[in-house]
């Protein structure tokens, strides 16, 4: 259960996000040492420690071939083979950086996302990052919680900033401490403004109610005078 500032805010319809699609990341493949020519293997996606999707791949000199099956038209399964070209650019301090080339637009990217039966870049899939859909308030609270988590502390802004974790340098700790302190104070200031705004709204509503009650009593008194004018006899 989230704290203050968490949760979904309703407004204009949001776009699909990169987090909602299966992602193929070239950095993960490189970290696993799986981009050498001739390498073949299987990639799996997990949800709650259970495998939900998988694909086979084989790496060639300048491309990677993907093999997978997708659920197509009710209960029919379709075998898919997709070729994704690779590009290599030199790094500043030696070595090469590997990129995917989007099969649809040819854009040089680090990640591809499943769109129908093809893995494409986020631009061709018309995806956005989840953080881009958050309001300024959401981003502020997220930043404050992030620095507290880096210090192995609670996400709650009402808890004190934790002491230095074991193994962390003091210079790094004080940098995170200052960031956590500053963003927490900004969050509290934001909460104060929202509470003051709510208080003013309640006062406005109360004033309107009092005005309506007074006006109703005045109209009722005027109506009684009209029905029973002074000096009239029954």
**Interval 108-126: pLDDT, tens:** 999 998 887 889 998 898 8
Structure tokens of 7?
A: 């949760």
Phi, psi for 71 (deg, rounded to 5): -75, 120
| Widest CA span in the chain | 112
pLDDT of residue 4: 40
> Do 111 and 17 touch, CB atoms closer than 8 A?
no
pLDDT of residue 104: 92
pLDDT of residue 142: 79
pLDDT of residue 89: 93
pLDDT of residue 57: 92
- Which residues of the chain register pLDDT less than 70? 1-15, 18, 20, 47, 71-75, 129-135, 205-206, 215, 217-221, 224-234
pLDDT of residue 71: 64
Alpha-carbon gap, residue 67 to 80, rounded angstroms: 6
- Residues paired with 76 in a beta bridge: 72
pLDDT of residue 131: 54
> Do 40 and 57 touch, CB atoms closer than 8 A?
yes
| Cβ-Cβ contacts under 8 Å for 152 (sequence gap 6 or more) | 162, 165
pLDDT of residue 105: 93
pLDDT of residue 187: 84
pLDDT of residue 55: 87
pLDDT of residue 3: 44
């Amino acid at each position: 259960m989230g704290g203050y500032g968490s949760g979904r805010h309703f407004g204009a319809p949001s776009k699909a996000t990169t987090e909602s699609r299966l992602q193929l990341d070239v950095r993960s493949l490189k970290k696993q040492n799986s981009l050498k020519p001739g390498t073949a293997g299987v990639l799996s996606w997990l949800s709650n420690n259970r495998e939900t999707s998988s694909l086979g791949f084989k790496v060639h000199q300048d491309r990677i071939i993907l093999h997978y099956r997708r659920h197509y038209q009710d209960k029919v399964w379709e075998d898919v083979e997709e070729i994704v070209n690779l590009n290599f650019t030199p790094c500043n301090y030696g070595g090469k950086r590997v990129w995917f080339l989007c099969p649809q637009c040819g854009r040089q990217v680090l990640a591809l996302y499943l769109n129908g039966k093809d893995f494409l870049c986020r631009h061709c899939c018309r995806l956005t990052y989840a953080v881009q859909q958050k309001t300024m308030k959401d981003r502020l609270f997220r930043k404050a919680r992030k620095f507290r988590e880096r210090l192995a502390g609670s996400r709650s802004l009402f808890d004190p900033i934790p002491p230095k974790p074991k193994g962390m340098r003091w210079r790094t700790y004080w940098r995170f401490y200052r960031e956590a302190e500053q963003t927490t104070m900004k969050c509290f200031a934001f909460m104060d403004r929202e509470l003051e705004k709510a208080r003013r709204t309640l006062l406005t509503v109360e004033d309107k109610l009092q005005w309506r009650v007074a006006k109703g009593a005045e109209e009722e008194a005027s109506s009684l005078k009209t029905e029973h004018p002074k000096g009239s006899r029954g």
